[in-house]
Amino acid sequence: MSKNIIFQSAKEFISALVDEDKDLYNPLLNKYLFHYSEAGAVAQYFITPRNARNLARESALSGEYWGAFLGFGGSIYEGADLEYLAEELYKEKGWMLCSDVKF
């Protein structure tokens, strides 16, 4: 069973992504988020659970993060846009570390 993460605030959500460099996936929302740039931007991709399992397998075999296998198609958020995104997403159930996704 995957370990779900509960965030208490949007600030804590952003800190997990940017300060702690955690890659997060939510199979209920089909969303994958990761720290994108040194400027504090975050990338978001829509990833189905099936694709998440494939990414988890590729990541385990190569030692790379999921984003290394993705091309165009994600959205980049920073500043006020990131704060808004985090405010919308931190309360959602189902967040987990990508390393906890089973394949």
Task: Tell me the pLDDT tens digit for each residue of 73-89.
Answer: 999 999 999 999 999 99
Cα atoms in the 13 Å half-sphere on the side-chain side of 68: 10
DSSP label at 53? H
Could you read off the pLDDT of 1-55 as tens digits, one per residue?
468 999 999 999 999 999 999 999 999 999 999 999 999 999 999 999 999 999 9
| H helix intervals, 48-96 | 49-62, 79-89
Contact by Cβ (8 Å): 82, 41: yes
C-alpha to C-alpha distance for 26 and 63, rounded to whole angstroms: 21
pTM of the predicted model as reported, rounded to 2 decimal places: 0.94
